[in-house]
Structure 1
Amino acid sequence: MTVNQTAPAVTRPRRGEASPSAVPKPTRKRKKSPYPYWFYLPAVVIYATLFLLPTFASFFFSLTRWTIFNATFIGVGNFVQFFQEPALVTGLRNTIIYAVMTSGLKVVLGMLFGVLLTSKIIARGFLRSVLFFPVLLSSIGVGIMFSVFMDPDKGLINQVLAAVGIQGPAWLADPTWAIYSVGLVDVWKGVGLATVIYIAGIVSIPAEYYEAAEMDGASSAKRFWNITVPLARPATATVIILSLIGGLRSFDLIWAMTQGGPGFASDVIASVIYKQYQAGFYGLSTAGNVVLFVIITAIVLPLSIFLNRKEVEQ
């Protein structure tokens, strides 16, 4: 008996249809391993220990009358008493003046020094080191040193001015000059950091822009205003934010040079808080720290958002 075996019919895919063998097989998504995220843990622990816990503890203790051994909850009494502090208005005014003055001068001088120290001048590296050196010095040491230099009778600054026929003021003893004198010392100490930030921003600007502007006959001043200033905007925003935060919370240099004097002429919010702590009003001084934190946040956060938004739009 003969069995006729016929070959199975081969079906060809129609035009426009994919071959069965060409149809991609469904692939399983690989589950992400949590292993890389464990490397964040040390930083999170340090940040929580050194910043988050003290911050929340400050908010709690600002609502209490506390000592080392006990704490009594009194609500917002500390805040009410803090805003009744006689020196608070003077401290707030001086804080704003000090912050605006120091941050403004650091922006202007940092930009000018940054342009100078990125140009082709002799001993450029040495000059950068000299300008940055005051940043490394202790604020207390700088304050004590300039307190001697600014002595109205025996100070080096007034002696130099007298040699050229100028009578120097009583820098730290005159209520009119005290806060501005400390501000100038702050600028001397901190302008090196602003300059380094500007140097980093200026050297990142493509050299082709300057070459094209030079070929078009643009002067140095026009190249500065039309190329350097706009393209160094990120550096400017960084210097403004850092300098403003430092100015608003400044304490150590002011305390080393004037201790808020003469009288209350150079008091800032931080020195008012410290005087309350010295007097034993720990809850009151903690409430003052919370107020200072809120003031800095209310000023710096919107300014930072505004500067970054302008940077993105450009």
Structure 2
Amino acid sequence: MSLAQRKMYSYLFLLPAGIIYFVFYLLPTIMSLFFSLTRWTLTKWQFIGFENYTMFFEESSLRIGFRNTIIFAVVTCGLKVVLALLLATLLTSRIWFKDYFRSMVFFPTLLSTIAVGIAFSTMMHPTQGVINTALASFGIQGPDWLGNTKIALLSVALIDVWKGVGIATVIYIAGIMSIPQHYYEALRIDGGSSFRSFWHITLPLSRPAMNSVIILAFIGGLRTFDLIWATTRGGPGFSTDLIASIIYKQYQAGFYGLATAGNVILFIGISLLAFPLYMFLSRREVDL
């Protein structure tokens, strides 16, 4: 068999994956770009150029949606990064039942986001919810968690953190367990405390895991939809509307081309934010 035949034989193994990638990713992406330039229904379409993009940026609630999306992404990402690091540090230490606690921390990740949203909507009910009922037993009047425009977005963000901190913790645990143990042994010989061990060894050498958590959590926050829709549907008013929920409302109203343009804008926006962040974080990694 010649060299060219061997190369062709190798490429044949890539063909099934290439077909799947083209059919389920590349082709829908190209079709989305095209249909974002049209006014379309399920049976017909009309090319209108960039009119959908112009209309999307003229959407009255878009400014609120952009602001809420950035706030939601930053808050959820920041809390996941910090809480997951603390949990991972605890769950890799010498404590009893750490395997059980690892399972408990990861358990919310296995639950359906819609189910979590519905459950917390009930728990956060202003008068009958279990959270305010528990606070009332201590003489504290709980707020309307999802009905108050000032705290509704933060309330949903906390739900998202509760659900997503488990996977971030697992990533941190994998990163911390890959750190060579002789670094910790050398510090203990020199009389270093647990805090110095965390600050000078665990924190800098778990930077690759931290970068993964930051990127995944930030992108996840920017594209969140299902939790918002299950809890508040963007309300009260537009106080919890994110870009994804605004796009969905446009689909509901039958503006399919406009909503498709919104999806393209969301994709480009996430890329413009995520790639520079990834490059910045990659340059700050510490090699073992």
TM range (shorter): over 0.9
CA distance in 1, matches of 2:279, 2:23: 28
Over the aligned positions, Cα root-mean-square deviation in angstroms equals 1.4
User: Which residue type is aligned with residue 186 of structure 1?
Assistant: D
Cα deviation, residue 42, structure 1: 1.6
What's the counterpart of residue 146 of structure 1?
A: 120
The residue that corresponds to 1:245 in the other structure is 219
Contact 2:153 2:239 (8 Å CA) reproduced = yes
Q: Specify the SS of the correspondent of 1:311.
A: coil
Indicate yes or no: 2:262 matched with 1:288.
yes
Choose which of 304, 307, 313 in structure 1 pairs with 2:278. Answer: 304
User: Which residue in the other structure is 2:228 paired with?
Assistant: 254
Q: State the partner residue of 1:38.
A: 12
Give the TM-score normalised by the residue count of structure 2.
0.97
Q: How does 1:1-314 map to 2 (within 5 A)?
A: 33-34=6-7, 35-311=9-285
CA distance in 2, matches of 1:189, 1:253: 10
User: CA deviation digits over 1:92-139, x for unaligned, max 9?
Assistant: 000000000001100001100100111111111111111111101100
Count of aligned residue pairs for this structure pair: 286
Residue 103 of structure 1: SS of its match in structure 2?
A: helix
Local SS of the residue matching 1:33? helix
C-alpha distance in 2 between matches for 1:226 and 1:179: 36
C-alpha contact 2:225 2:244 (8 A) present in aligned 1: yes
Distance 2:18 2:81 in 1: 33
Residues of 2 paired with 1:296 and 1:312: CA distance? 26
Once the two structures are superposed, residues 49-71 of structure 1 have per-residue CA deviations (whole angstroms, 9 ceiling, x without a partner) of 11111111111000000011111
Instruction: Please give the secondary structure, in 2, of the residue aligned with 1:275.
Output: helix
Separation in structure 2 between the aligned mates of residue 155 and residue 30 of structure 1, nearest angstrom: 70
Which whole-Å CA distance do the structure 1 matches of 2:284 and 2:71 have between them? 25
**CA gap 1:115/1:129 in 2 versus in 1, 3 angstroms:** same
Supply the AA of the counterpart residue of 1:134: P
1:283 deviates by 0.4
Aligned partners of 2:205 and 2:286 also within 8 Å: no
Offset at residue 312 of structure 1 (A): 6.6
CA distance in 2, matches of 1:263, 1:244: 25
Identical residues among aligned pairs (%): 59
In 1, distance between residues paired with 2:147 and 2:280? 39
Structure 1 residue 46: Cα displacement: 1.2
Residue 214 of structure 1 aligns to a residue whose secondary structure is helix
In 1, Cα distance between equivalents of 2:194 and 2:11: 50
Determine the C-alpha separation between the residues in 2 that align with 1:283 and 1:211.
Answer: 61
3-state DSSP of counterpart to 2:39: strand
- CA separation in 2, counterparts of 1:65 and 1:144? 35
Deviation at 1:31, TM superposition (A): 5.7
CA distance in 1, matches of 2:212, 2:5: 36
